[in-house]
Amino acid sequence: MKKRIIPYLALGGTYGADDVEAATKVIAAAAEPGGSFFPLPEETEFQNKFAEHEGAEKAVTVNSAGTALDLCMMTLEIKEGDEVITTPLTFICSATTAMARGAKIVFADIDQKTLNLDPDSVESRITERTRAIIPVHFAGLACDCDRFDEIAEKYGVSIIYDAAHAVCTKFNGKPVGGRGKASCYSFQSNKNMTTLGEGGAVTTCDPDFAETVRQMKTFGYIYGKPVRVVRIGF
């Protein structure tokens, strides 16, 4: 019997000729004076299209979902003494991004059927120090966004979704990228939409939150004439 060899394909897809041409064009533009400092048109176009695709008003591209979570914690001004609730069944940065700001991580139980955070368990762990909740759409399966919205409104906490696996994920027929305060996506090489390297994005329906994230990722700069530094950035 003749052996059939199935060629290895990188998860998420492969580069085609059009991708190589587009990447080369962007690299060349970035090499021009000031080209790597200001957002290129291709980046702006992608951000707009990705936000629309994921059901959000704004998207800010970054180099990883970990950085996206870092920026969200910084934008929320998470600090020492605060508590952030998340799941123990996740990649480490769902917790360490808040820990890096000095916050105490509180783990809640997961639902045994979905492997997502159990909203009732989360609610039982909320204290006067709770500032944020980081639910993970585990393996791309949407969390109970409606229930988390109720918790956020009831207790005045922010919901930052770890959506690293959740490109195209929907809850009740609608994309999850506009839920909560923000969602953090990954385009790393083993995700369902990938750069075949690294990459990520923050999506939100709060324009002010998006603008602060954008400023934080570029050292606190506001682009204009003249360029100004308005905050301590990342």
Number of Cβ within a 10 Å radius of residue 169: 22
Segments of the chain assigned E as strands: 58-62, 83-86, 104-107, 130-134, 158-162, 170-171, 174-175, 182-186, 200-204, 221-222, 228-229
Helix (H, G, I), strand (E, B) or coil at 45: helix
Segments of 127-209 assigned E as strands: 130-134, 158-162, 170-171, 174-175, 182-186, 200-204
State residue 28 phi and psi, 5-degree precision: -65, -40
Rounded to whole angstroms, the Cα distance separating 223 from 234 reads 16
**What one-letter code names the amino acid at 226?**
P
**What one-letter code names the amino acid at 47?**
Q
- 191 catalytic, yes or no? yes
Write down the catalytic residue from 58, 181, 191, 217. Answer: 191
> In 3D, which of 26, 71, 98, 84 has the Cα closest to residue 231?
71
With contact defined as beta carbons under 8 Å apart, do 199 and 63 qualify?
Answer: yes
Residues forming the active site: 191
